Structure 1
Amino acid sequence: MANGPMDRRAFGEQPDRPDAPFTGRGAEYTGRYVILLDQSNQESGLEALRASADIAPVERIRGTDAANVAELLERPDVSVLFEELGAAVVEVRPDQRHALVTTAEAEPSIIAAEPERMVYASVITAPQQAPTAFFPAYRSDEGVVERHTKAEIAAAQGPAWDERNWTWGLQAIRANMSSLTGRGVKIAVLDTGVDTDHPDLAGRIDETVSFVPGETVEDGHGHGTHCIGTAAGPASPQQGPRYGVASEARVLAAKVLSNAGSGTDGQILAAMAWAVAHGARVISMSLGAAVQPGELFPQTYEQLAQRALQRGTVIVAAAGNESSRPQAIRPVGRPANCPSILAVASLDRALTVSSFSSAGINGQGGEVNIAAPGRAVHSAAPGGGYQSMSGTSMATPHVAGVLALLAQAAPNASAEDLKASLLSSAFPLTQPVRDVGSGLLQAP
C-alpha cells in the first residue's frame, strides 16, 4: 500500500475496543466504509472492491454537485464516489467486510479504508444535562463551571473586558485593531447549518447545502449559526458588541450534523469535497470524536486534508472538550488530530487554557497547533438573536476568521503559507505547548 500497512484498528477489528472513548461509550459505526483511492487510478481500486467484496454500485459525484448526496449516502444499495478528492463511501454486506479489508490491504490503488464513524455535537446549556461521550461536548459555562471552585471560576474570568463594542474574544486576538475584513475570501463552515434569515448573516452566505437526509440547511440546533457568526459576523451587528472576525468574508454553509447534533464521516467528507470545489480558502469544523492515548489519526481525513491543502484550502478543527483539568487531561480528538488539520484549543478570559480543552498528548499529528478564545463566547443564534457558548468549538471559528484575513492580505499565498503565517504570528503563552500550541491567535 502507498502508506504502508494499515493499523488493524482502522478496519474495526477491535476485540479490546482500543478506540472506546474515556467515558465508556464505544465508538459508533454505520456499517459503511470510507475508502481513499489513488487519484490517478481510482477505477482500479473500485474494480478490485467490486470483484472481491461485491460493493454496492457506485454513484459518481463531482465536488460542486451536492444534489441528492444526502439521500445517496443513506441508501443501502448505493456507494458514493467523490471524484475530485478520490474518496468513496461504500456499502458492503457484513459477510463481505473481511474481503473488503483484505483487498484494501493488497490493492496499491487503495490508500486507506476505514469504517465510517458517527460524529456528534452537543451543547450543554444546563448543569443537569450530561455531556455526550463524544466531543464536541460543547459545554456551556454552566455545564463546565459546576465542577469547579469559586476561586477557579474567578481565575477563569480573568480581568474585566469592556465588551460594549467588541467581544472579549475579538479583543484578545486583536481583531479590533485590524483593518482587514476578509473581503472576497470564502470560509466554509461544516456544522449544524445556519439561520439564513438572521439579520446579521442574511446576504453574507454564498452557498448552502445540507448533507443530512430529510433536513434543510436551516439550523435547528444553534451550534452552526454561532460558529458562522464568530468566523464572519458583520462589523455592525443589529444588537450588542461586534462578534465576527472577518466581517466581509463570504460564507459557505454545509450542514453535516443534524438538528440533534449527529452526523457521519461520509457526510463530513462529502462537505469537504463540496467546499474545496466551491473555492473555500478555509474550512472550519467544530466537530469530531474522542480518541484514546496513542490512537492513530484517521488516514482518510489526513489524506483529504493534504489534497485540500494542495488546492489552496486550509482546514481547522476543534481540539475537543474531553478534559477535566486538573484531574484529567485527554488527547486531541479526531479529525483535529490529523497532521494536516490545525487543532484549536480553548482559552478562558484570563488567557489560560480552558478546563475542558483537550491537549496534545498524542504524537503523529495529535498536537494542539494554536489556541483561541473559547469560553463565554457571544455570537449569533437561530431566530435572529444571540447567545453565549463555550467550547473548543467556539475557539475554532476565531481561527477560521483570522485565516480569511490573512488570505485577503496575501491573495496569492499557498495554503501552507497561510498556515505558517498564522502560527508564526501567535502570541507566546507561558502555558505548555501541549495545551496551547504556538500560543494565542493574533489577527494581522
Structure 2
Amino acid sequence: MKVSSAWSAGYTGTGIVIAVLDDGIQTDHPDLAANVDTANDLDIYNFDDDPNPSSGYSHGTQVSGLIAAVKDNSICVVGVAFNSTLIGVRILGPYAITDSEEAQGLSHYLSNVDIYSNSWGPVDGTGFKSPGLLTKAALQDGVTNGRNGKGAIYIWAAGNGNTADNCNADGYVNSIYTVAISSAMIGQNAWYSEVCASALAVAYGGSQDDRYLTTTTIQSGCKSAGIQGTSYAAPIVTGIVALTLEANSDLTWRDIQHLIVFTSNRNGLNDTYSDWSMNGANKECEFLSN
C-alpha cells in the first residue's frame, strides 16, 4: 500500500483529525494517549464526554491502533497515520442507538474533523438496511460543509458476510458519500469479504488463513489473535487518506474517491468467488460469477 514510501516522503498524518465511531477508545492506552484529543471526545451511548469503553468492549481501541498508534515508543504497533489526532465517539454497545444519535456521531465536531472512520454497520445477512433520514442528512451535510466546504471523508467497512451477504444491500456502504472498503488476504480476497459495486477498494484485513493483524487493545494491551475483518481494513485506509490529506489539504471528498479508484490496482489478486472484467473507465472490476 506504499505506506512506508509516504512516511519516507515526510507524511505522518500531522494536523489531520480523525473521529473513530465505535464502541469506545481507551484514551490512556500508552500507544494511543499522545494522539487522543480528550477535550473533544464524546460518548453518545452514555450521554457524556468520556469515550472509554465498557468492560469487555475492545473493538474501537483495536481500530484506533491501526490508525494512529505512536511510532518508535517500543509499545505494540505503529499506526498508518501515527501523528494524526484521534477523537473517540462511542456509539456502539449491547443495544442500538437511534437515527438521531447516529446522525449526531457522524457530524460530531464537524468544524474540525477531517475523517470519520466507521467499522460498523447492519448485522451480516439481514437483508436490505438503510440509514435513517437524519443519518442520511448528516452524511450529506458532512460532505457539503465539512473541511470548510471541501467535505469530510467517511470511511466505512464493507462487511464480513462473504458470499452469504452482499454489501450492495448495506445503505451505509452504498451511500455516494462514503468510501467503502473490503478486505484482502495475502494474494487473494479475504474469506470473509463481501463483493459489491459499492466497495471502492480493498486493503489487507488480516486472516486466520495467513496472518492476523496486530494492534492495540483494552487494558493497555496489544493483540494479534483474531484480528481479522473489514473492520480492520477500513482504519488502515483511514490512515492512508490522512496521509493524503496532509500531502494536499485542498482535496475534496470527491477527489479522495477518484484517487482511490485510479490508484488502486488488482496486483495479481486471485479472487476465489468472483470474475473480473474491464469497465468503461478502463479499470478492472469484479462481479459475482454466480
TM-score, normalising length: structure 1:
0.52
Residue aligned with 2:41, SS: strand
Whole-angstrom distance in 2 between the partners of 1:299 and 1:257 = 16
1:371 paired residue among 189, 196, 202: 202
Task: Report the equivalent of 2:173.
Answer: 336
| Alignment pair present for 1:238 and 2:238 | no
Q: Relative to structure 1, is the Cα distance of residues 433 and 189 closer, same or farther in structure 2, using a 3 angstrom cutoff?
A: farther
User: Which of 174, 190, 195 lines up with 2:21 in the alignment?
Assistant: 190
- Cα distance, 1:239 vs structure 2: 2.7
Please, which of 316, 322, 330 is the counterpart of residue 161 of structure 2? 322
Distance in 1, matches of 2:239 and 2:59, equals 16
Paired with 1:313 and 1:271, the residues of 2 have a C-alpha distance of 13
What is the deviation of 1:218?
0.8
SS class of match (2:60): helix
Contact 1:297 1:338 in 2 (8 A): no
C-alpha contact 2:34 2:70 (8 A) present in aligned 1: no
Which of the pair has the greater relative contact order for Cα pairs under 8 Å at 6+ separation?
A: 2
Q: What's 1:347 paired with?
A: 184
CA distance in 1, matches of 2:128, 2:159: 15
Instruction: Say if 1:292 and 1:331, in contact at 8 Å, map to a contact too.
Output: no
| Residue 46 (structure 2) pairs with residue 213 (structure 1) | yes
Q: Is structure 2 residue 92 aligned with structure 1 residue 257?
A: yes
SS at match of 2:33: coil
Maintained 8 Å contact 2:63/2:231: yes
| Counterparts of 2:124 and 2:132, CA distance in 1 | 14
- Per the TM alignment, residue 426 of structure 1 is displaced from its structure 2 partner at its CA by 1.6
Question: How far, CA to CA, are the matches of 1:276 and 1:201 in structure 2?
Answer: 22
Residue from 102, 107, 110 that aligns with 1:273:
107
Q: Which residue of 1 aligns with 2:287?
A: none
SS in structure 1 of the partner of residue 198 of structure 2: coil
Provide the aligned length of Structure 1 versus Structure 2.
253
Which sections of structure 1, spanning at least 5 residues, go unmatched? 1-172, 361-365, 440-444
TM-score by length of 2: 0.78
- The structural deviation recorded for 1:339 is 2.1
CA contact (8 A) 1:192 1:224 kept: yes
Partner in structure 1 of residue 209 of structure 2: none
Structure 1 residues 288 and 264, CA gap change in structure 2 (3 angstroms): farther
Report if the CA contact (8 A) 1:293-1:331 is conserved. no
Shift of 1:272: 1.1
Question: Is 1:405 matched up with 2:243?
Answer: yes
Give the corresponding residue for 1:422. 260
Q: Identical aligned pairs, as a percentage?
A: 23
Query: What amino acid sits opposite 1:234 in the alignment?
Result: V
Distance 2:73 2:59 in 1: 18
- Residue 83 of structure 2 aligns to a residue whose secondary structure is coil
Partner SS state of residue 268, structure 1: helix
Contact 1:229 1:379 in 2 (8 A): yes
- 1:313 Cα deviation from its structure 2 partner: 0.3
How do 1:62-81 and structure 2 match up within 5 A? none
Offset from partner CA, 1:53-109 (integer Å, 9 cap, x none): xxxxxxxxxxxxxxxxxxxxxxxxxxxxxxxxxxxxxxxxxxxxxxxxxxxxxxxxx
Any stretches of 5+ residues in structure 2 without a counterpart?
Answer: 207-211, 285-290
